[in-house]
Chains A and B, each alone.
Chain A
C-alpha cells in the first residue's frame, strides 16, 4: 500500500453525551486556533516570499535594462567600427574596400607599365645615340678625307703655278687659274677644318649624352617593381583581413542587437507585478480564513464558558496534526521542516511537541529553500 494513503490512526472513541459538549467544543476551538495560527504563518510567509520575489525580479529586470543600455551603446559603437572598417579615405573621398582594391591595383599597374615604358625608351635612346655616334664617326672620317683631298688639290695648284711661271708669258693665263684653284683649296681647307671642329663638338656632346643615357638605362627599376608588386599584395591582404574583421564585427553586432531585444523583452515582462498580485490574492484568502477561524474559536469559547479544558484540547489538536504529518511518510529532515513551518510561533509546549529547537523556528528567507 502506498504510504501516502495510510489511514490516520484512530482516536479512541468516547461515548458522547451532553457532559462531553464542552470537551468537543474545546477540541474544535483549539483546532480552529491552530488552523488560524497556521494560516497566519502561511500568509506571512507568502507575503515575505512575494516581497522577496518582487525585489529579486526587480533587481533582475534592472540588470536586464542595464544590459539593454550597454548593448545599445555597444551596437552603436560596433556600427561605427563596421563603417570605418568598410571604407578608407583617399584624397578627401570615402572609398569602399572593393573600390580601394581596384584603385591600388590600377595605380600599381600603371606605375609598372610606366617603368617598363621608360626602360624600353631609355634603351631605344641608347641604341639611337649609339647609331648616331657611329654615323658621326663616319662623317668625321669623310671630313678628314676632304682635308686629304684638299691638300692634294692645293699641291696640284702649287705645281700648276710653278709650271705656269716656267712657261713665261704663255703660262700667265694658266697661272691665274692655278692661283684661283689654290685659293679655293685654302677656302675648302678652312671650311673642312671648321666642319671638323663642329663635328668634333657634336660628337663629344653625343658621347656625353650616350654616357648619361647609359647611366639612366643602368638604373634598374626591377626592385621598385618588385616592391610595388609586394605592396599591392600586402594591400590586398589587408583589405581581405579588414573585410573578415568587418564580417566578424557585423556578426557580433547582430548578436548584440539580439541580446538587446531579449533584454528589452525581459524588462517588459513585468512578471514581478503579476506574481505579487497573484500572491496577494493567496495571502488575502489565507488571512480571511485565519480570521474566520479566530472568530469561530471565540464563539466556541463563549459557548464553552470558563469550565472547558482548552489546554488539553490543544494538546489533542497538535497530536492530530503530528499524526497527519506522519501519515505523509516524508523523509525525516523534510518532516521536521514541515512541522517547524506549520507550528512556529507557538508556545514552548508546542515546540517540545514538534521536537524542534528555536534556531529552526524562523521566517522564510532565500536560505531556507530546500534544494532537491
Chain B
C-alpha cells in the first residue's frame, strides 16, 4: 500500500506518493479524483514520485485517470522526481509522451 499525501500550495495541488502504489490504493485515490473533479480553483497538479519504490499497472491506470481529470479541469499535470524501477516502468509505458515528466 502506498502512502498518499495531498497538499495545496497557492494554485497547485501536490500529490506525494510513497512506498508501493498499486490497484489496492484505489479507495484513497478515488477520493483525490473526486476532490479534484469538484474543482477547487487549482490550475496545476504535480505528482511527486521521489519516495515511490514500486508502481503496478493499476497504479499506472490511476495516473492516467488523474490525467483525464486534469484535462477535464484544464489543469497542468506533471510527474516529478521518478527514479529507479518506477522511472523505468514510466519509460516502458511511454508516459513521457502523455505526461510532463520532470527530474
Contacts and interface: CB of A to CB of B under 8 A. Distances in A.
Interface residues of B, number: 21
12 contacts: A113-B94, A116-B61, A116-B93, A120-B65, A123-B61, A126-B26, A130-B26, A131-B30, A222-B56, A225-B89, A226-B88, A229-B92
Given A122-B58, A126-B23, A130-B30, A116 B64 contact: yes
Interface string A213-228: 0100111111001100
B57 interface: yes
A111 B34 CA distance: 31
B93 A112 contact: yes
Contact of A220 (B57, B62, B93, B94): B57
B60 interface: yes
Secondary structure type dominating chain B contacts: helix
A201 interface: no
A120 B60 CA distance: 7
Interface of A: 109, 112-113, 115-116, 118-124, 126-127, 130-131, 214, 217-222, 225-226, 229
Nearest to B91: A229
Interface of B: 22-24, 26-27, 30, 33, 55-58, 60-62, 64-65, 88-89, 92-94
B62 A123 contact: yes
Contacts of A109: 94
A122 B57 CA distance: 10
A264 to B, nearest CB: 56
Nearest to A121: B61
Contacts of A217: 23, 26, 58, 61
Nearest to B98: A116
Kindly name the residue among A130, A219, A222 whose own CB sees the greatest number of chain B CB atoms within 10 A: A222
A172 B55 CA distance: 75
B23 A218 contact: yes
A218 B22 contact: yes
A122 B23 CA distance: 9
A127 B29 CA distance: 9
A124 B61 contact: yes
A116 B65 CA distance: 11
Nearest to B24: A218
Given A126-B23, A130-B30, A220-B56, A225 B93 contact: yes
B57 to A, nearest CB: 4
A251 to B, nearest CB: 37
